[in-house]
Chain A
Amino acid sequence: MIGLRQYLEQNNETKMIIFAGKGGLGKTTCSAALAYHLAVNEGKRCLCFSTDPQASLSDIFERDIFGKGEIEVAPNLYVVEIDADKRIREYIEDVKRKIREMYKMEEIPPEIESYIETSAVEPAMYESATYDAMAEYLAEGKYDYYIFDMPPFGHGVRMIAMAEILSMWVDRITDARKKAKEYDEIAATLRGQRVLSEDKVLEELYDIQRKLGFFKDVMLDRRKTAFFMVMTPEKMSILDTERALDMFKELGLTLSGIVVNQVLPSSLANNSSKLLAHRVEMQQRYLDEIRRKFGGKVVSVIPMFDREPKGLGMLGEVAKYLVNPPTAV
């Protein structure tokens, strides 16, 4: 078990760290703890970003940060919990304002207005808005590390697949637009004129292409992005991790490592409480299975704590195990 400190030392180009896995296993805890360690102990500028619709960074950092932008919760540690609904509302208002200004309209034509309104409530808008926010933060390049707390696995993977699809879509329509511009130029040349105005649509498309392209390149570059799966020593979690590994393979991604969370100390196996003793025995059995199946991939093992891992103090505790795990479990 190398721990995340050693992993980051060995992979010193890493910029983005993504924790994925089933819901409720500790993705948010790991994201927050790693961000805390890198920022507070190593003095790196970190952005911890939650893309989960049921984000809980507010709870874990014990601060109300939902929809408030980048909030510094500790020196160098910035946290963002995106309010996608609010972002969509602002975006829609921006589009409407632009239309009113461009065409000097008091009111937007009802047909256009209803198109915008129906688009706004499409479920994919939520994901796109979150995705766009992630891409925007990364393109700004203000931080040393970007730590993304992904939504439960299915969505998380879709988010990665979306990088590819969206970039492809933007590339296609940019090509179509470039073709249109070529024809404009030919017609103008034949008439002995010159195309004076720059195509605003093409400018917008280049801007989207730049942002998405950069994000996609970082996300799919294994030197720059690390994916960690969080799991617990339970059968369901093992099966889920196996499926996730297949999905990673399909997407051409490499799993950087596995973090096993909520592990009860083996010394409790002799506890007088039967429930506890059974639970420990079960966990030990599954830990063996994990070692057998994913052995080399396990980077850290985090114990079950006697308290909820909330607040900066507890995150520091979790971080100790995450970055520098003791050799024996």
Chain B
Amino acid sequence: MSEKRSGVFDKLKDAVKQVTYGMALHSQVTGVLKTRMYIEHLFTLMILGDMLGLPILPPYYSLRLLPYTIPSIKSWKHRFYRERDFTDIIYG
């Protein structure tokens, strides 16, 4: 019986935690992750700029980093080539 009660209590505690996180921190985390994405794209541009036709330094050391950047190449290119308009100012 007491086990069941503590299970319910744990669930409740978890729910309160999630709600608090959602209310207080979620938007902050989203903001941080968005900035993180910009930095990741900037980083990819610094090492793979050649892929978009922007000349960069000798690709010797970039190639060493290429295997790790593969997962973000698609979104990076997508973001780079995306059309931009004034709504970007509002929605980033």
A interface residue numbers (CB < 8 A to B): 91-92, 95, 98-99, 102-103, 112, 115-116, 118-119, 122, 124-125, 127-129, 132, 165-166, 169-170, 172-173, 176-177, 179-180, 183-184, 186-187, 190-192, 200-201, 204-205, 208
Contact = CB atoms under 8 A, between A and B. Distances in A.
Interface in B24-56: 25, 28-29, 32-33, 35-36, 39-40, 42-43, 46-48, 50-51
Contacts, number: 95
21 contacts: A95-B66, A95-B67, A98-B67, A99-B66, A102-B68, A112-B73, A115-B50, A124-B58, A128-B59, A128-B60, A132-B60, A166-B58, A173-B43, A177-B43, A180-B36, A180-B39, A183-B35, A183-B36, A190-B28, A190-B29, A191-B25
Contact of B61 (A179, A190, A208): A208
Contact of B36 (A172, A184, A201, A208): A184
B4 interface: no
For the residues of B in contact with A, the DSSP-based class is helix
B43 A208 contact: no
Interface of B: 21, 25, 28-29, 32-33, 35-36, 39-40, 42-43, 46-48, 50-51, 57-70, 73
A99 B32 contact: no
Contacts of B51: 115
A234 B4 CA distance: 99
A186 B67 contact: no
Contacts of B73: 112
Contacts of B61: 128, 166, 169-170, 208
